[in-house]
Amino acid sequence: MAEQTYLRDIADHVDQEITVRGWLYNRRDSGRLQFLLVRDGTGMVQAVAFQREVPPEVWEAASQVTQESSVIATGTVRADDRAPGGYELGLSDFRIVQLAEEYPIALKSHGVDFLMENRHLWLRAPSQWAVLRVRAATIRAIRDWLDDHGFLLVDTPILTPAACEGTTTLFETEYFGETAYLSQSGQLYNEATAAAFGRTYCFGPTFRAEKSKTRRHLIEFWMVEPEMAYADLDECMRVEEEMVSYVVQSVLERCAPELEILERDTGKLAQITPPFPRITYDEALGILGEAGEPLPWGEDFGAPHETILGNRFDKPVFVHRYPSQCKAFYMAPDENDARLSLSVDMIAPDGYGELIGGGQRLHDLALLEQRLAEHNLPREAFEWYLDLRRYGSVPHSGFGLGIERTVAWLCDLSHIRQTIAFPRTLGRIYP
């Protein structure tokens, strides 16, 4: 095959002849001119065929090509401010690899159920293409930041013998005669790896069999979970705001064209730099009361409360020191107020809800044993976890950041389902 030039590099080839292998996105016919929008997965270009200047078979192919047919286009790159993207391809050759049947997703509006049923094709649309490229850039930025700040990637298991926070929302499967559960979090395992490697993170899919249908929840979603030995709640918040700020600035830098396709207001994102505001749970209750959504002390926030809190600030806000009763069993107590936990959530602005949950973990053996009993958790399954308090226990902290919520925020999407290639929701496991 002739060498392929990717459209992401088109600016390097002005006045040169290149060959693009891709698909027809759209065609416009004006008598003796054909305007063919060709995409190759890395970008899009308008290819132009003049009837007088191309061989008859090229004109014929350009005239009959259908939407999403696979095509090989050869031509000369011209800089042209009027063309979409600033470049145009003056066609000299044009071949159809496979002539597509009538494409189900015409260039008009479709209902979201129809689009999700055709998700394997919908991914080719510019909006979805842009979102998933932002997703990849987000993940890369997170990994780069962690790798460059002394965190070691240590993958934690998906198939686990016990539940981190109870079994009610777990998927289960038979594991050679035993029952195994799909992981909701790698955190407990991270606590073991942090004692071996100092600072670690896991990054993988997690699963919640929740019957709730909201625009902020998926059944299968990806989470990054850093964990740090010898780190307290303050250090945890510092790491979170540094990492999130780096991710936002990195996406702004690398994904300008994608954010433009999505019409994202980037001015707001440009302001996301440390430090982020910090308020206590009690202060948050005050804000909710003022806003006419009072909440009894001790209850966790729901989506409406998170929206009110997030909207009070231009940056993500830390809410820290939740009552122990509304947080997981492994949260460390606050030495200054036994009712409180050293927990912290990061809530996004503009109604995107909780991006991060985390805090300082309990590191005292006797208290952990007591908590397991209070939560009716099966002690045998947690013996290894108790060992971490028997052999070199240290103050340690960590957090989990949800990838899809972060991408929804960065792309300004009203529903989280567009932030993953093949979303798993209450009603959908196809394609």
In the region spanning residues 210 to 239, those forming contacts with a second copy, defined by CB under 8 A, are 211, 219-220, 222, 229-230, 232
Question: Using the 8-state DSSP alphabet, how is residue 30 labeled?
Answer: -
Token duo for residue 415: 């529903």
Binding of a second copy by 429 (CB under 8 A): yes
CB of 105 to a second copy, least distance (A): 9
387 lies in the binding site for a second copy (CB under 8 A): yes
User: Which of 85, 161 has the CB closer to a second copy?
Assistant: 161
* x-marked contacts with a second copy along 283-322 as a string, rule CB under 8 A: ----------------------------------------
Query: Please, what is the minimum distance in Å from the beta carbon of residue 259 to a second copy?
Result: 16
Helix (H) or strand (E) holding 209: none
d(CA 411, CA 261): 10
Q: How far apart are CA 259 and CA 274, in angstroms?
A: 22
Taking CB under 8 A as the rule, does residue 199 contact a second copy?
Answer: yes
Helix (H) or strand (E) holding 224: strand 220-229
CA–CA dist 119, 132 (Å, integer): 12
- DSSP letter assigned to residue 196: H
3-state SS assignment for residue 59: helix
Q: Stretches 242-250, 291-299, 329-337, 423-431: which one binds a second copy (CB under 8 A)?
A: 423-431
Report the site for a second copy in 134-193 (rule: CB under 8 A).
136, 139-140, 143, 147, 150, 152-161, 171-176, 178, 180, 182, 189, 192-193
- Of residues 94, 129, 399, 409, which one binds a second copy by CB under 8 A? 129
State yes or no: residue 256 binds a second copy (CB under 8 A). Answer: no
Determine, following the binding rule CB under 8 A, whether residue 422 of this chain makes contact with a second copy: yes
String of contacts with a second copy for each residue 338-377, x by CB under 8 A = -------------------------x--------------
Tell me how crowded residue 172 is: count the other CB atoms within 10 A of its CB.
Answer: 12
3-state helix, strand and coil shares in percent for the chain, rounded to the nearest 5: 35, 30, 35
Q: Is 133 in the site for a second copy (CB under 8 A)?
A: yes
Which one of residues 12, 29, 53, 101 is an interface residue with a second copy (CB under 8 A)?
A: 101
Q: How far apart are CA 217 and CA 428, in angstroms?
A: 13
Q: Residue 124: how many CA atoms within 13 Å on its side-chain side? A: 20
